[in-house]
Amino acid sequence: MECSVSMKGAAMRLVKAGFGVYGIDNQGHGKSDGIKGFISHFNDLVEDCSQFFTSICGKFYLVVLCL
Protein backbone atom coordinates (compact mmCIF):
# COMPACT_ATOMS: atom_id res chain seq x y z
CA MET A 1 0.00 0.00 0.00
CA GLU A 2 1.25 3.45 -0.93
CA CYS A 3 0.25 4.97 2.42
CA SER A 4 -0.54 2.78 5.39
CA VAL A 5 -2.85 5.41 6.89
CA SER A 6 -5.08 6.40 3.97
CA MET A 7 -5.16 2.89 2.48
CA LYS A 8 -5.94 1.06 5.74
CA GLY A 9 -9.50 0.14 4.69
CA ALA A 10 -8.35 -1.38 1.40
CA ALA A 11 -5.55 -3.22 3.19
CA MET A 12 -7.95 -4.73 5.71
CA ARG A 13 -10.22 -6.00 2.91
CA LEU A 14 -7.24 -7.62 1.18
CA VAL A 15 -6.10 -9.27 4.43
CA LYS A 16 -9.60 -10.65 5.03
CA ALA A 17 -9.45 -12.10 1.50
CA GLY A 18 -6.23 -13.93 2.39
CA PHE A 19 -3.59 -11.61 0.94
CA GLY A 20 -0.45 -10.46 2.72
CA VAL A 21 -0.32 -6.66 2.74
CA TYR A 22 2.57 -4.32 3.48
CA GLY A 23 2.30 -0.55 3.77
CA ILE A 24 4.90 2.12 3.29
CA ASP A 25 4.62 5.72 4.44
CA ASN A 26 6.63 7.55 1.81
CA GLN A 27 8.22 10.88 2.61
CA GLY A 28 5.49 13.48 2.83
CA HIS A 29 2.73 10.88 3.27
CA GLY A 30 1.02 9.15 6.19
CA LYS A 31 2.74 9.57 9.55
CA SER A 32 6.12 10.47 8.06
CA ASP A 33 7.87 13.53 9.49
CA GLY A 34 8.08 16.78 7.56
CA ILE A 35 5.81 18.82 5.33
CA LYS A 36 2.91 16.79 3.91
CA GLY A 37 3.31 16.10 0.18
CA PHE A 38 6.91 17.41 0.09
CA ILE A 39 9.82 15.26 -1.07
CA SER A 40 13.17 17.03 -0.78
CA HIS A 41 15.13 14.64 -3.03
CA PHE A 42 13.38 12.32 -5.48
CA ASN A 43 16.30 9.85 -5.38
CA ASP A 44 15.75 9.39 -1.63
CA LEU A 45 12.16 8.34 -2.34
CA VAL A 46 13.34 5.91 -5.03
CA GLU A 47 15.91 4.41 -2.64
CA ASP A 48 13.32 4.07 0.15
CA CYS A 49 10.96 2.23 -2.22
CA SER A 50 13.74 0.00 -3.51
CA GLN A 51 14.74 -1.01 0.02
CA PHE A 52 11.11 -1.60 0.99
CA PHE A 53 10.35 -3.83 -2.01
CA THR A 54 13.67 -5.69 -1.70
CA SER A 55 12.97 -6.48 1.96
CA ILE A 56 9.53 -7.88 1.12
CA CYS A 57 10.66 -9.88 -1.92
CA GLY A 58 13.44 -11.45 0.13
CA LYS A 59 10.89 -13.00 2.49
CA PHE A 60 8.69 -14.81 -0.01
CA TYR A 61 8.99 -17.10 -3.01
CA LEU A 62 6.23 -15.38 -5.01
CA VAL A 63 5.35 -11.74 -4.53
CA VAL A 64 2.96 -9.68 -6.62
CA LEU A 65 3.49 -5.94 -6.26
CA CYS A 66 0.62 -3.58 -6.99
CA LEU A 67 1.08 0.15 -6.65
Q: Where do the structural domains in the chain lie, given as residue ranges?
A: 8-57
pLDDT band at 43 (very low <50, low <70, confident <90, very high): very high
Mean pLDDT of 34-57: 87
| Residue 24 and residue 1 in contact, taking contact as beta carbons nearer than 8 Å | yes
Global pTM? 0.62
Q: Which pLDDT score, from 0 to 100, does residue 2 have?
A: 62
